[in-house]
Amino acid sequence: MTNAYKIAILAGDAIGPEIMAQAVRVFDVLQQHRDVQFELIEAPFGASAYFEHGKAFPEQTKTICDQADAILKGPVGLSHEESKKIPVEEQAERGAILPLRARYNTFANFRPIYLSKDMAHFSPLKADIIRDGIDILLIRELVGGLYFGEKERGVNESGKRYVKEVLEYDEDQIRQVLVVAFEQARLRKKKLHNIHKSNVLMSSVFWNEILDEVHQDYQDVEVVHLLVDAAATALCLNPGQFDVMVMENMFGDILSDQGGGILGSLGLMPSACMGPEKAYYEPSHGSAPDIAGKNIANPYSMIGSVAMMLEMSFGMNEESRAVWNAMKSVFEAGCSTADLSSPDAGTQIVSTVEFGDMVMTKLGELLAN
């Protein structure tokens, strides 16, 4: 029986459609080589959706996503200046991304920070720090904390303007993401770095208490506690010490971008946002309006998000690995998009489309064998 999957395609803004155009080619190649069918349903999302439909996350897009087996989302958002044309509550981040996360309760955000040995020259870190490459799975809580807490602004009794933003978690919200992290640690090196700020924040003290409880069920996993500020340093000085890391929403936002930094580009950061019933996949980076339409954006994180979908939503592990290997082959051939090239690395710069061409050719070969 042919497996058939419905995928909502939210191409997004700026470079979104360009990198999405390359990523969806993976589905075509798979259909040619495997007994599988993908129905891709495009839907408006982000700033472009606001301009066309008056909403950043229009009703029809919600319906398409509700009915899809998985969602593939491109980056959204506009430049600071352009964003001002959109009311604050409809700007892509607040009007589209956060509501998407909330709608499907995608509480566990998988952000692999991965650099194989033959990609090591992309990293700004020295070779003796990188050694055999970087292979970290950062798990970020994605639907709680400051991002979703109550917000208030006004004028206080002494006539001063003030703002208040609440960081709130209940025990279940913390437990569910920790369980995911422990499970992943168990599948990998049985080592979990718990990132927190318990020397200052009550929320971290509470988080750590829940962690101790959950740890009871995962005694084969070693837990290492690290303060978030120290973790930022450690990621630069010795990324090899990390395997799985887990942290709350805001910490994860910041440290995952640092992850992109130690790899050499945010263009190397795909991600999976997992909820109890639905998952969506997206690059960790923004929509880079400054390079939109130039055919120079790096589609790796978008294609990598497809690879993550294949594995995590459809159990197509072998095919997922083939996608990663096809991307690796581009680098092995000495090519990369412009974001990854450095003057002395001798890299041959390829365009967004050329990168896609190389990946699809190789992927076809790998799947044919």
The residues binding ligand IPM (CB under 6 A) are 93, 97, 253, 284
Cβ-based nearer residue to Mn ion, 248 or 253: 253
Cβ-based nearer residue to Mn ion, 18 or 253: 253
Least Å distance between CB 286 and Mn ion? 8
Judged by CB under 5 A, which of 243, 253, 319, 339 binds Mn ion? Answer: 253
Q: Can you tell me the distance from the alpha carbon of 260 to that of 269, in angstroms, rounded to the nearest whole number? A: 6
With a CB cutoff of 8 Å and minimum separation 6, the contacts of 218 are 182, 185, 186
Which among Mn ion, ligand IPM, none contacts residue 311 (Cβ within 5 to 8 A by kind)? none
Structure token digits, residue 270: 């795909």
Q: Can you tell me the distance from the alpha carbon of 43 to that of 182, in angstroms, rounded to the nearest whole number? A: 35
* Contact call for residue 339 and Mn ion (CB under 5 A): no
Least Å distance between CB 253 and ligand IPM? 4
Cβ-based nearer residue to ligand IPM, 79 or 351: 79
Instruction: Identify the active-site residue in 13, 243, 253, 339.
Output: 253
* Contact call for residue 141 and Mn ion (CB under 5 A): no
Least Å distance between CB 233 and ligand IPM? 21
User: Which positions from 185 to 224 touch Mn ion by CB under 5 A, shown as an x/- string?
Assistant: ----------------------------------------
Radius of gyration of the chain (CA): 21
Least Å distance between CB 23 and ligand IPM? 17
Q: Which residue is nearest to Mn ion (CB)?
A: 253
The vertex-336 CA angle with 292 and 239, nearest 5°, equals 100
Q: Can you tell me the distance from the alpha carbon of 137 to that of 264, in angstroms, rounded to the nearest whole number? A: 17
Contact, 42 vs 99, CB < 8 A? no
Least Å distance between CB 110 and ligand IPM? 12
Q: Could you confirm whether 197 is annotated as catalytic?
A: yes
Which alpha helices (H) appear in 269-351, and where do they start and end?
A: 300-312, 317-332
Instruction: Identify the active-site residue in 73, 197, 278, 362.
Output: 197
Cβ-based nearer residue to ligand IPM, 101 or 362: 101
Q: Could you confirm whether 132 is annotated as catalytic?
A: no
Cβ-based nearer residue to ligand IPM, 25 or 140: 140
* DSSP per position, 205-231: HHHHHHHHHHHGGGTTSEEEEEEHHHH
Cβ-based nearer residue to ligand IPM, 194 or 284: 284
Q: Could you confirm whether 281 is annotated as catalytic?
A: no
Q: Could you confirm whether 118 is annotated as catalytic?
A: no
Which among Mn ion, ligand IPM, none contacts residue 97 (Cβ within 5 to 8 A by kind)? ligand IPM
Q: Which amino acid belongs to residue 113? A: I
Q: Can you tell me the distance from the alpha carbon of 113 to that of 231, in angstroms, rounded to the nearest whole number? A: 14
Which among Mn ion, ligand IPM, none contacts residue 93 (Cβ within 5 to 8 A by kind)? ligand IPM
3-state secondary structure of 369: coil
Residue 295 falls in which region: left (phi positive, over 0), alpha (psi -120 to 50) or beta = left
Contact, 320 vs 308, CB < 8 A? yes
* Contact call for residue 18 and Mn ion (CB under 5 A): no
* Contact call for residue 282 and Mn ion (CB under 5 A): no
Neighbouring CB atoms inside 10 A of 100's CB total 24
How, if at all, do strands 134-141 and 108-115 pair? antiparallel
Instruction: Identify the active-site residue in 147, 280, 281, 300.
Output: 147
Least Å distance between CB 4 and ligand IPM? 30
Which among Mn ion, ligand IPM, none contacts residue 354 (Cβ within 5 to 8 A by kind)? none
Neighbouring CB atoms inside 10 A of 215's CB total 16
Q: Can you tell me the distance from the alpha carbon of 81 to that of 69, in angstroms, rounded to the nearest whole number? A: 36
Least Å distance between CB 208 and Mn ion? 24
Q: Could you confirm whether 147 is annotated as catalytic?
A: yes
With a CB cutoff of 8 Å and minimum separation 6, the contacts of 216 are none
Picking from 204, 70, 172, the residue whose alpha carbon sits closest to that of residue 180 is 172
Cβ-based nearer residue to Mn ion, 97 or 360: 97
Residues in the site for Mn ion, rule: CB under 5 A?
Answer: 253
- The residues annotated as belonging to the active site are 147, 197, 229, 253, 257
